[in-house]
Amino acid sequence: MQRRKLGRLFDVSRYTLGGGGIGQVWGATSREEAIKTVQDAHEAGITLFDMAPLYGNGEAEKVMGLAFPDGYPDTLRLTTKCMLGGVSGTDVEDILTASLRQSLKLLNRDYIDIFILHGYVVPDNWDTPLSPKFLSKVAVNMATFNSFVIPAFEKLKKSGTIKAWGVTAASTQVTNLKIINSESPPDVIQCMANVLDSAGSMEISGEKANPRALIRQATEQSVGVMGIRAAAAGSLTDAIDRPVAADSREQYDYDRAARFRSIAADMGVSPAQLAHRYALSMPGVETVVLGVKNREELADCLLAEAAPALDAAVVQSIDTAVGN
C-alpha cells in the first residue's frame, strides 16, 4: 500500500482503519469479525488505526487490544480521542488524562501516536440555534481550547504519553481556519473528504461546507490531513446499512448521490469503491479513514486503493453529477 507523510509527523498508509465500523457504529458486526478485519487491514499494509472511546462505548479500543495479543507491530500507529464538551477549563487536563489512561488500558498500549479532540471547537459566545444542552456535550469554545486544551495536549506530548495531537475540523469555517492558522496549530486535522463535501449529521454550523479550503490551508501549514467520511456515512454506497430517518442528512445525501451510483455502475465498480477512489484522489488528503465493519467491506476498499488515481475527466463528471 502506498504511503504519504502525515503533515510534519511520520509516514502513514494511504488508508487508516477507523474505529467506527469495528465499534459497530456503522451497522452490526461481531467482535470476532472485527478482530479479523483489523488483522487483515494490517496485513494489507494499513499502518494507522483511528480509535475513540465513543466507538461502541469502548468496543473499538477493545478490539484493537485483542487483535495483536503478542504485541503491536513496530510499524503500527494508533490514534484515540476524547470528547470534552462544555467543561470548565480547569478540568480539561484531568479529563483528557483520565480518558487517555482508560484508552491505553483497553488498547493495551503505553502511549498513543495521535490524541484527537473529539467533537467541535465553536466560537466564543456563538449565536446559534443549537441547544445549549447539545453543545455542552460535544463542543468546547475557542477560549477554552486556546487556554486549556492546547496546553494540556502539549503537556502530554512532553510526557511522551502522546506523540502528537489533533482536532476534528467540523465546526464553522472561520473557527476551523483559526485553529489551523494559530501560533500553536494541531499536528493533524480530521476533515471531511467525500464527493459531496458533506458532514452529514455531523454538520452544526448551517453554512455551506467547504472542507477543500480547509485541506488546502492545512497543507500550506504542514498540518496533516486525515480524510474522514469518504463514503458519507453510507450515503455513497449501494444502500445505507442501518435505519435512518427519511428527513435525515444521510438520506438527503443518499438521494443526491443517485447519479454518482449510476457512474459507478457504468464503470463496473461499487459506489463505495468509487467513493474511496475519489477521496484518495483529493489533493492534500494524506490518509483516508475507513469506516468498514468487516473483511468484505475492507476488501472492496482495498481494490480502490490498488486502482489508478481517477483522472481529471472522471473527477469532473462525478462533480457535475452531484452538483459540485
The CATH number of whichever domain residue 302 belongs to comes to: 3.20.20.100
Tell me the pLDDT tens digit for each residue of 165-217.
999 999 999 999 999 999 999 999 999 999 999 999 999 998 988 999 999 99
Grouping H, G, I as helix, E, B as strand and the rest as coil, residue 3 is strand
Mean pLDDT, consecutive 10-residue stretches, the chain (324 aa), reads 97 97 89 97 98 94 96 96 93 97 97 97 94 93 97 98 97 96 97 96 90 97 97 93 90 96 96 96 97 95 94 94 86
Nearest Cα neighbor of 166 from 158, 238, 157 is: 157
Beta strands 224-228 and 188-192, pairing class: parallel
**Could you tell me the residue range of the domain that residue 255 belongs to?**
3-322
Domain count, the chain: 1
Give dist(CA 215, CA 183) in Å, integer.
18
Angstrom distances, CA of residue 280 to CA of 9, 216, 222, 283, 307: 19, 15, 18, 8, 10
Cell 477549563 sits at which residue? 89
| Cell numbers found for residue 28 | 452490526
pTM summary value: 0.96
Beta strands 11-13 and 3-5, pairing class: antiparallel
Give dist(CA 251, CA 43) in Å, integer.
34
Grouping H, G, I as helix, E, B as strand and the rest as coil, residue 33 is helix
pLDDT over 90, % of the chain: 94
